[in-house]
Chain A
Amino acid sequence: AQSVSQHNHHVILSEAASLELGCNYSYGGTVNLFWYVQYPGQHLQLLLKYFSGDPLVKGIKGFEAEFIKSKFSFNLRKPSVQWSDTAEYFCAVTPKGGGNKLTFGTGTQLKVEL
């Protein structure tokens, strides 16, 4: 079975700081990878996804993530965070062709201070 690790549980940044959230997965085959965001009091929304092709994927609101197959990683980045980026971020993985069963990481709570 697959698993996902997010090592940063809580991150506090000042506005305009750069962001990188780590995500590592464990699975023996090929996978699809996702980052979801949950703003306070809201449901999960897709930030970006990787299925194949260019390992650097761009999502909404200036976020991007890089898939490094050799490191089983899919880290989320943003060059300059805003206060409105305060949210919880979840990395998720699903095996290709194995159905849509997502396995989520435990989440990273990001707080951006003014």
Chain B
Amino acid sequence: DADVTQTPRNRITKTGKRIMLECSQTKGHDRMYWYRQDPGLGLRLIYYSFDVKDINKGEISDGYSVSRQAQAKFSLSLESAIPNQTALYFCATSVAISSYNEQFFGPGTRLTVL
């Protein structure tokens, strides 16, 4: 969905480096999410934010941190990248109305940690 953008789209880095993945949205949604996708494991939630002042850990937050700089921006950081963080990372957004939980996904960032 062009309304949710991620940068970079591809990144190769080395073990121990700090990496930031960025997500921006023009949908006006309050809620934003970071997932990682691994073959055979589906998507797993890393962090989520229901508004600028609300950030929560997902099921696999270890080794990651996030920053919600504004309603439209949600960044994911790998403080010291390791090879098993090689994955496809997706950002998603949704409205705050609880009955409508559809999430809209960005195009993904393919991260390779050597």
Does A46 sit at the interface, judged by CB under 8 A? yes
Q: A44-B105, A100-B94 are in contact. Are A51 and B40 (CB under 8 A)?
A: no
- List B contacts of A97 (CB < 8 A): 98
Interface status of A87 (Cβ within 8 A of chain B): no
Q: For residue B97, which residue of chain A has the nearest CB?
A: A100
CB-nearest residue of chain A to B91 = A43
Chain B residues bordering chain A, tally (CB within 8 A): 27
Q: Determine whether B65 belongs to the interface, using a CB cutoff of 8 Å to chain A.
A: no
Task: Report whether A43 and B106 are in contact in the complex, using a CB–CB cutoff of 8 Å.
Answer: yes
The listed residue (A9, A43, A94, A107) touching B101 by CB distance below 8 A is A94
Min CB distance, B43 to chain A, in Å?
A: 4
Shortest C-beta distance, B83 to chain A (Å), equals: 22
Beta-carbon contact of A43 and B42 below 8 Å: no
Chain A hits for B103, CB < 8 A:
100, 102
